[in-house]
Amino acid sequence: MKISKELVAASATPLVLSILAQGQSYGYAIICRVRELSQGEVTWTDGMLYPVLHRLERQGLIQSHWGLSETGRKRKYYELCKHGVQVLETEREHWRAVNAMLNQLWKEEPSCRIAMDPIRTAA
Amino acid sequence: MSNSNGSNPNSRLNNGGLTADEERWLAAGGVGAICGPYESENRYWPSLWMALGFLAFVGFESLMDFCRMMSHCFFVSTPTVATCSMYSALYGISLTLAYQLASGRLEQLADRLVHRYSDRRKLLTDLLVAMAFLVLSPLVLQMVAISYRDPRLSSALEILTASNLIVVVYRSVPWLVCIWILAYLLPRKGSKAARSLQLSTFGLDDAIAAWCARLLAGESVDEEDALELEEHLREEVTALIQGGLLEPQAFAVACRRMGGQEDLSREFAKAQPEVVWRTRARWMLMGVLMMFMFRVVQTTIQLLPLWGLKLGAPPPVDPMVLYRLSEVAIWACGIYLFARFADGGLARLAEWLSRRHGNPRALATDLAFLIAVFIGAQMLWIVAWGPGEVPLSDVTIVFVNKGLPVLLLTCAGIYWLHPRKAQRRLGV
């Protein structure tokens, strides 16, 4: 499934913040987690994650430090800051509100389809 | 190579697994598309911005000359006061502009200019117009003033000679050099194929190094970002190889997942526009500093024939001719060196210098050295020409008004824009 660029951009912040809320992580692990969560349905261009991470870092939502991986190579870890927790809370409220609205509308889907489909209405 | 997750081939659950799309892409020769010969961008950005800094400096100087000539022509009574106040006003304006640019307020304008000047013809036209205005208008102004003040000068040639044509002519040389440099650099954008990776001789480390080099050739991804992306790429490649792919295939798929380097560069720039502009401003200041170094070398070398005269060697030709010839020769050398090293060596030298200048003590040492050489060259100048030719007060005024502030501001700017400092200030 190809999700529009705008939606990917909009959902990136809450996704990254929510993943980091579960503990510190690094770029590749975050990408893997997104793949896992979407069952491979949502495809991100891997590299685009990093500008998002850097933007969040500059906004003071997350912070980073260089550490070592299991294999001894350098790796940059990210973790949530206090401000990030607050922003995540706000994001969660917003997304819940949008989600609730859409869910309500889509529960009424059958009537919706009849209204949209004049041939079936006639039949 | 088929390594999809059993029941659901579309799934991309584990990272060794490929989506159906990726399998199709691999089957259609995707490995060749990524690992095959490709064009690599050279790191020409630093040189481009250094040339622009150099140009800004020359433009600034020409503007000062313009103001100085105005003051000489029309306010004859107190030229020094008028000149000094004009210099101060110009410094004020340029500092304000620089501050606005550094704090990101002129970004949009600058971005628009950068966009406009990606068309070489537009850039060159604008430069020529600026040059015509800044270089030729003082000449015209002075000619008018002289003919107005001294009605005895009748012929055009007399007026031209009196208005010190030679100064204006060699003021225009740096402009021409800048125009030439930019004309030389701009169309090189992404030309030269640096290296090609052949499947038969595929080496993973080489391929990754080439990938990183390409990423670093853009101006928005710094070494730290590149290292982070490299580690990501390596982990993905390892996972894909564990999933059963061959090295070139794993590399190709990992690169494809990572996204095109140009897109990445653009996204990085969008995420941190002020960092990109800080880097550009730093390169421009490095250009000014290099211009200073070049001038110091130039002045010193130019004085050699005059020193020869002082030491009593018989003059083979007119010393003035010798002096002008050496000037042309030095400019030619400068141009050649710039062209020769614009793609890498110059950037590496400037990078080394700017890294060194993150340390205030090293910066202060270099500054003191430059000032010492500058003063030394001025003194040599006086000794060579005789104090009657160049009065000491004039040299001091020029140095205090023009050389010293620009040098100090340049060094302060380089230190201020140093990435470590900038990051600390941004709270990174």
Sequential pLDDT tens for chain B (428 residues): 333 333 343 444 444 577 777 777 777 766 666 654 444 445 666 777 777 777 777 777 777 767 766 666 665 555 566 667 777 777 788 778 777 766 666 666 666 766 676 666 777 777 778 777 776 776 677 667 666 666 555 565 555 555 555 666 666 676 777 776 666 665 544 433 334 445 556 778 878 888 887 777 777 777 788 888 889 889 888 888 888 888 888 888 888 888 877 778 888 887 777 777 777 788 888 888 888 777 777 777 776 666 666 666 666 666 666 666 777 778 778 777 777 777 667 777 777 877 787 778 888 888 888 778 777 776 766 666 665 555 555 556 666 667 777 788 888 888 877 766 444 444 43
Question: Are the CB atoms for B382 and B390 separated by under 8 Å?
Answer: yes
Question: Are the CB atoms for B403 and B396 separated by under 8 Å?
Answer: no
B268·A54 Cβ contact <8 A: yes
Residues in Cβ contact with B221 at an 8 Å cutoff, skipping those fewer than 6 apart: B215, B229, B264, B265, B268
Assign 3-state DSSP to chain A and report helix, strand, coil percentages, each to 5: 65, 15, 20
Q: Which residues of chain B have a CB within 8 Å of the CB of A40?
A: 10-13, 17, 19
Q: Which residues of chain A have a CB within 8 Å of the CB of B259?
A: 45-48
Strand bridging mode A25-26 / A62-68 = unpaired
- How close are the terminal C-alpha atoms of chain A, in Å? 34
CA–CA dist B367, B416 (Å, integer): 15
What residues form DSSP beta bridges with B188?
Answer: none
- Residue B177's nearest CA partner among B109, B127, B246, B242 is B127
Chain B contact for A48, CB < 8 A?
A: yes
Q: Which residue out of A32, A52, A55, A65 would a mutagenesis test of the B interface target, given it has the greatest number of B Cβ atoms within 10 Å?
A: A32
Q: Which residue out of A13, A28, A31, A74 would a mutagenesis test of the B interface target, given it has the greatest number of B Cβ atoms within 10 Å?
A: A28
Chain A contact for B6, CB < 8 A?
A: no
| Whole-Å CA distances, B115 to B120, B358, B363, B400, B427 | 11, 31, 34, 37, 30
A28·B11 Cβ contact <8 A: no
Q: Which residues of chain A have a CB within 8 Å of the CB of B17?
A: 40
Chain B contact for A55, CB < 8 A?
A: yes
Per residue, the 3-state secondary structure of chain B, as one string, reads CCCCCCCCCCCCCCCCCCCHHHHHHHHCCHHHHHHCECCCCCCCHHHHHHHHHHHHHHHHHHHHHHHHHHHHHHCCCCHHHHHHHHHHHHHHHHHHHHHHHHCCCCHHHHHHHHHHCCCHHHHHHHHHHHHHHHHHHHHHHHHHHHHHHCCCCCCHHHHHHHCCHHHHHHHHHHHHHHHHHHHHHHHHCCCCCCCECCCCCCCHHHHHHHHHHHHHHCCCCCHHHHHHHHHHHHHHHHHHHHCCCCHHHHHHHHHHHHCCHHHHHHHHHHHCHHHHHHHHHHHHHHHHHHHHHHHHHHHHHHHHHHHHHHCCCCCCCCHHHHHHHHHHHHHHHHHHHHHHHCCCHHHHHHHHHHHHCCCHHHHHHHHHHHHHHHHHHHHHHHHHHCCCCCCHHHHHHHHHHHHHHHHHHHHHHHHHCCHHHHHHHCCC
Classify the phi-psi angles of B303: left when phi > 0, otherwise alpha if psi is within -120 to 50, otherwise beta: alpha
Q: Which residues of chain A have a CB within 8 Å of the CB of B231?
A: 27-28, 69, 73-76
Q: What pTM value is reported for the model?
A: 0.64
Q: Which residues of chain B have a CB within 8 Å of the CB of A45?
A: 257-259, 263
Name the minimum distance, in Å, from the CA of A108 to any CA of chain B.
31
A27·B426 Cβ contact <8 A: no
Domains of chain A (ranges, CATH numbers): 5-122 (1.10.10.10)
